Amino acid sequence: MKYLPTIGIECHVQLRTKTKLFSEVDNDARGKEPNSCVSPVDYALPGMLPRLNGEAVRLAILAGKAMNCGINASSRFDRKHYFYPDSPKGYQITQFYEPIIGEGYVELPSGTKVRIEHAHLEGDAGKLTHFDSYSLVDLNRVDTPLIEIVSMPDIHSAKDAHDYCKELWRLMCFAGVTYGDLYNGNMRFDVNISLAPEDSKKLGTRAEVKNLNSFRSVERAVEYEISRQTKLLNAGEKIIQETRGWNDATGKTTGQRSKEEAKDYRYMPEPDLPPIRLSSEFIENEAKKLPLMPSDYRKLFKGLVSDDILEILLDYPTLMMRLNEIDKKYLKSISNLFASVLLAEEKTAEYLNDLPTAEELNDLASMNEKKELSSTATKEVFLKLFDPQMKNRGTKNIAKELGLIQENDLDALRKIVDIVLEKPETKKAQEDYRAGSEKVLGFLVGQVMKESHGKANPSAVQEILKKKLS
C-alpha cells in the first residue's frame, strides 16, 4: 500500500531581547556559569511576580508580519502545567487560548505555501545535563523569551520540511527577531510525522521528533520516520502516538514517552499577568519597521543573479542589504565573487560583520569590466577589501599598491610586444605560428606578460601579436 506522509512543524524561536521574558535578568547566557543568569522570579520563590518584557511583544509583531500573519489586538497568557526538574514553577507561562500571532503562511523558494496556524509567546524551560548516575540542572535558560510557531499539516516530503525550516530561519533572521544561532539553540524544531493511505481522508497517528537544531537533521529525521512507519503499517502493526528523540550519529529516532494532549497540561489563565492590548496604530507602526524579506530580494534580483547563487547568499541578511546598494549592472559579478570566493574562506563569518562599501564593490566590478584588473587580480583585490589594514584605502589604491592594474595603453603594449619579438628565444615560436601552429601564441603572450611584469592585458596582447605575425 502507498502512504502519504503529512508533516507539521513546531518551531521555538529565541528572541534577541536584552533581558528575560518576565524578569530583568541578562538573556544572553553564552559562556556564563550555570545558574548565574537567574532571579527570584526564575527560581519561582514565593511572592515573586512576573513582569512582561515589552520588547518581546514588539519582536513578536515583527515575526508575525514576516510570516504574513495577522496580529491579534488582544492576547493573554496561560499556565501549562507539567512537573520536570528544569521547571521550578511546576508550570510554563505560555499562550494557549489567545495567542498574539494569528494565521499566516510561509512561501518556500519552490512556490509551495505552508500555512501558519498561529504563534505564541512563552518562557523557555531550563536545561538538564545527564551523567551516568546523576543529572545537573542549569536554570540560566528559564523564561528566555520564545515564540512558538505552529504550522498546519501542509508538508508532505522530507525536502519540503527542510526547505520550510530553512525559510523560517531566514525570515526570523531577516526580521531581526533572533540571532538565529542554531548551534546554541536559538531555533529548535519539533517535527510531527504521520502516514495515511493515499486515498484516506483521515490523518494517521503521529509521532513527534523533538528538539532538532539543523535543517539536515529535520530532513533525515523525516526520511527515517517515513521509512519506520511504512514498515510498521505494512506489517499490520499500529503507530504509537509518542515523543521520539533523534540521534544524529545513528540516523535513527527512538521512543521517549507517550505524547501528551492539551488536557494533560491542565491549561488555565495566568492570574499574575494582565492581557496584552495592542492598538492598531502600534501594530501598524511596528510592522513598518520590517526590512526587506527573502521573497523581496528574489523579486528584486530576478534575472540579475542566478537562482542557485541567490539561494546561497540569502543565508546572510547583512550581505543582501549591501548587495541591494550596488549598481544593478555589477550585481551579478559581485554576487558571484561573494559566492565563489568569500564564502569559501575560513573567516567568512568574521568578514561578513564588516563588509566593504557599495562604492568599493562598484569600483572593483568597474575595473574588472574595463580590463584594468584580470579575473585573478579582481579576486585578490576583493579579499583585500576585508583586510582591516586595507580599510578605507579605496579599491583603486589597493590595486595600485599590489601592482595589479593591467596595462591597456595599446601604444605601450605594442612597444613591449616589439621588444619580445626581437628576442632570439621567440623566433622559432614566431615561425611556428606563421606555419599554422596557433598553440605557440600562448607562449608568446606569456613572454609579453613576463616583460610587462604581469601588468599587460592578455587579451589586448593576443590581438596585437596576431596582427604583427599575420
In 3D space, the residue among 322, 326, 330, 295 whose CA is nearest the CA of residue 311 turns out to be 295
* Mean pLDDT calculated for residue range 304-322: 95
Count, in order, helices (H) and strands (E) of the chain: 17, 15
Q: 250 near 221, Cβ under 8 Å?
A: no
In a domain, 452, yes or no: yes
**CATH number of the domain to which 441 belongs:** 1.10.10.410
pLDDT digits (tens, 9 = 90+) for 267-301: 999 999 999 999 999 999 999 999 999 999 999 99
Residues 278, 296: one domain?
no
Q: 3 near 233, Cβ under 8 Å?
A: yes
In a domain, 243, yes or no: yes
Residues in the chain: 470
Torsion of CA 229, 106, 324, 406, to 10 degrees: 20
d(CA 55, CA 182): 22
Cell numbers found for residue 257: 514517552
Residues 124, 198: one domain?
yes
Which residue did the predictor score with more confidence, 330 or 457? 330
d(CA 175, CA 188): 18
Please tell me the predicted confidence (pLDDT) of residue 197: 93
Please tell me the predicted confidence (pLDDT) of residue 259: 63
Domain that holds residue 319: 292-401
**Res 338 pLDDT > 90:** yes
Residues 340, 255: one domain?
no
**pLDDT band (50, 70, 90) for residue 260:** low
Segment (H or E) for 212: strand 207-212
* Mean pLDDT calculated for residue range 181-203: 93
**Res 116 pLDDT > 90:** yes
Torsion of CA 339, 342, 347, 353, to 10 degrees: -80
In a domain, 117, yes or no: yes
Residues 223, 88: one domain?
yes
The residue type of 218 is V
d(CA 267, CA 252): 33
Please tell me the predicted confidence (pLDDT) of residue 38: 94
Residues 278, 298: one domain?
no
Residues 198, 347: one domain?
no
In a domain, 268, yes or no: yes
Domains identified in the chain, total number: 3
In a domain, 179, yes or no: yes
Q: 367 near 337, Cβ under 8 Å?
A: no
Residues 11, 147: one domain?
yes
Distances (CA, A) of 257 to 217, 221, 240: 21, 17, 10
Asked which of 353, 383, 401 is the last residue of a domain, the reply is 401
* Mean pLDDT calculated for residue range 148-175: 97
Grid cell 512563552 is found at: 122
Asked which of 401, 427, 445 is the last residue of a domain, the reply is 401
**Res 382 pLDDT > 70:** yes
* Mean pLDDT calculated for residue range 54-66: 98
Percent helix, strand, coil in the chain, to 5, is 40, 20, 40
The residue type of 293 is M
* Mean pLDDT calculated for residue range 180-198: 94
In a domain, 287, yes or no: no
Distances (CA, A) of 441 to 262, 409, 433, 467: 78, 21, 7, 12
**Res 262 pLDDT > 70:** no
Residues 112, 82: one domain?
yes
Segment (H or E) for 284: helix 280-287
Cell numbers found for residue 176: 531581526
Cell numbers found for residue 47: 511572592
pLDDT digits (tens, 9 = 90+) for 9-29: 999 999 999 999 999 999 988
Distance of CA 441 to the CA centre of its chain: 48
**Res 470 pLDDT > 80:** no
Q: 44 near 238, Cβ under 8 Å?
A: no
Please tell me the predicted confidence (pLDDT) of residue 90: 92
Q: Where are the beta strands (DSSP E) in 259-335?
A: 268-269, 276-277
Asked which of 235, 251, 282 is the last residue of a domain, the reply is 282
**Res 147 pLDDT > 80:** yes
Residues 420, 376: one domain?
no
Quick count: other Cβ atoms within 10 Å of Cβ 208?
19
In a domain, 222, yes or no: yes
Cell numbers found for residue 186: 536559538
- Main-chain dihedrals φ then ψ at residue 302, nearest 5 degrees: -60, 125
- What residues contact residue 130 under an 8 Å CB cut-off, 6+ apart? none
CA torsion sign for 14, 18, 22, 24 is positive
- What residues contact residue 442 under an 8 Å CB cut-off, 6+ apart? none
In a domain, 33, yes or no: yes
Residues 278, 397: one domain?
no
Please tell me the predicted confidence (pLDDT) of residue 288: 96
At residue 114, the 3 state secondary structure works out as: strand
Residues 417, 443: one domain?
yes
Residues 230, 340: one domain?
no
Which residue did the predictor score with more confidence, 36 or 453? 36
At residue 450, the 3 state secondary structure works out as: helix
d(CA 399, CA 128): 55
d(CA 279, CA 290): 18
**Res 407 pLDDT > 70:** no
